[in-house]
Amino acid sequence: MVVDHFSRAVVGFAVFFRHPTSVEVQRSLGRAVRRSGRPPRYIITDKGRQFRCASFQRWCGRRGIRPRFGAVGKYGSLAVVERFMRSLKTECTRKMLVPVRLEAMRQEIALYIMWHNRYRPSQAHGGRTPWEVHTGLPPANAGPRFEPRASWPSEAACAWPQAAIRGRRGTKLALVVGYLEGRRHLPVIELQEAA
């Protein structure tokens, strides 16, 4: 997994049957860098042999990336990626039949990452999704809101962040629950005006 430390957005991943070689890791990281449009200043990894070899050091050097190792046994040094892995296991792989075919597993992980980045609010960012933070989009929870209470004053401090009212007060609402690509463990929840 390649996770942007600031936004917590997953910007790349790879699935292997066995521990990857340094060359396989370099290829995966290269794809993530190309998708992101620029290399990071640092790459923080564990001390696996894929990252301790001269080949990986040269790969980083050619791209102006400074490799750093997370401190063994020190809380927080790899916390962002470890937290994502915990979420992936809890919210995805433990809620489905894990595919045997590698390509099918890649597809399931890709769907989870799409859901995680675009639909799952992050507590670390005050309810913004990783994608909103990564791309600089305004948070959805700060946009105009529906107001189901007909006589609620517009200046009342009802929620944070304070947001303008969309449409008219007293709007009847419907809670619509969908699922990304039909995966029941990947809910997409929306409030819509009731017909």
The domain limits of the chain are 2-135, 143-193
In order of 53, 65, 71, 118, 128, the CA distances from 131 in angstroms are: 33, 23, 28, 5, 8
Q: Does domain 2-135 have CATH number 3.30.420.10?
A: yes
- Written as one letter, the residue type at 32 is A
Return the closest-CA partner of residue 43 out of 20, 19, 12.
Answer: 12
Task: Calculate ∠ Cα 70-73-77, nearest 5°.
Answer: 30
- Tens-binned pLDDT, residue by residue, of the chain (195 aa): 999 989 999 999 999 989 999 999 999 999 999 998 889 999 999 999 999 999 999 999 999 999 999 876 666 678 889 999 999 999 999 999 989 999 999 999 999 999 999 999 988 888 899 999 999 998 887 888 888 888 877 666 665 567 788 888 889 999 999 999 999 999 999 989 997
Structure tokens that stand for 21 in this block: 């070689």
User: Is pTM beyond 0.85 here?
Assistant: yes
